[in-house]
């Protein structure tokens, strides 16, 4: 199977990143879901949405939460639920990370996390014309 991936972001972020990632990868993607949290969302409602999405995923190979901003509502609620499912949480999602997560779906959780973090960091570059 594969690690369950649950993207929990502010509105518009997860769907956009996943749509682009899927278009680039062009392979079937399984065991993945997302939640987009409105700015005025009730945290109890968000927690229930996370629980509902997790119930639809196979968690046999582990769970990985991916959020946009550390310390934001999506990240804070995910962090509270993570322990219950022995889930790891990565904050600071970017497109290079998404592509890596989608490309390496069959890796174990620790390898997948390492690949995602490495690619996310390498995807941030400064091209400065001033020397």
Q: Is residue 130 part of a domain?
A: no
Q: With respect to residue 129, please indicate whether it lies within any of the assigned structural domains.
A: no
Question: Is residue 73 in some structural domain?
Answer: yes
Instruction: Quote the domain boundaries for residue 65.
Output: 4-122
The structural domain count of the chain equals 1
**47: in domain:** yes
Tell me the whole-structure pTM to 2 decimals.
Answer: 0.94
Yes or no: say if 74 and 15 are a contact pair by the CB < 8 Å rule: no
Q: What is the predicted pLDDT for the residue at 71? A: 94
Which pair of structure tokens corresponds to residue 29?
Answer: 């993607």
List CB contacts of 122: < 8 A, sequence separation 6 or more. Answer: 96
20 found inside a domain: yes
Predicted local distance difference test score (pLDDT) of residue 131: 58
Each residue's pLDDT, cut to its tens digit, for the chain (131 residues) gives 799 999 999 999 999 999 999 999 998 889 999 999 999 999 999 999 999 999 999 999 999 999 999 999 999 999 999 999 999 999 999 999 999 999 999 999 999 999 999 999 999 999 888 75
Domain membership flag for residue 33: yes
Helix then strand then coil, in percent of the chain rounded to 5, is: 45, 15, 35
Q: Is residue 25 domain-resident?
A: yes
What CATH code is carried by the domain that includes residue 36? 3.40.50.510
Is residue 9 assigned to a domain?
yes
């Amino acid at each position: 199977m594969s690690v369950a991936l649950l993207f929990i972001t502010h509105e518009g972020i997860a769907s956009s990143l996943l749509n682009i990632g899927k278009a680039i990868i062009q392979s079937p993607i399984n065991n993945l879901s997302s939640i987009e949290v409105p700015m005025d969302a009730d945290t109890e409602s968000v927690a229930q949405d996370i629980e509902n999405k997790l119930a639809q995923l196979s968690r046999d190979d582990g769970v990985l939460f991916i959020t946009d901003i550390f310390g934001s509502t999506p990240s804070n609620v995910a962090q509270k639920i993570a322990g219950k499912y022995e889930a790891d949480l990565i904050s600071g999602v970017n497109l290079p990370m998404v592509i890596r997560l989608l490309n390496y779906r069959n890796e174990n959780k620790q390898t997948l996390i390492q690949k995602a973090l490495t690619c996310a960091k390498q995807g941030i570059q400064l091209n400065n014309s001033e020397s």
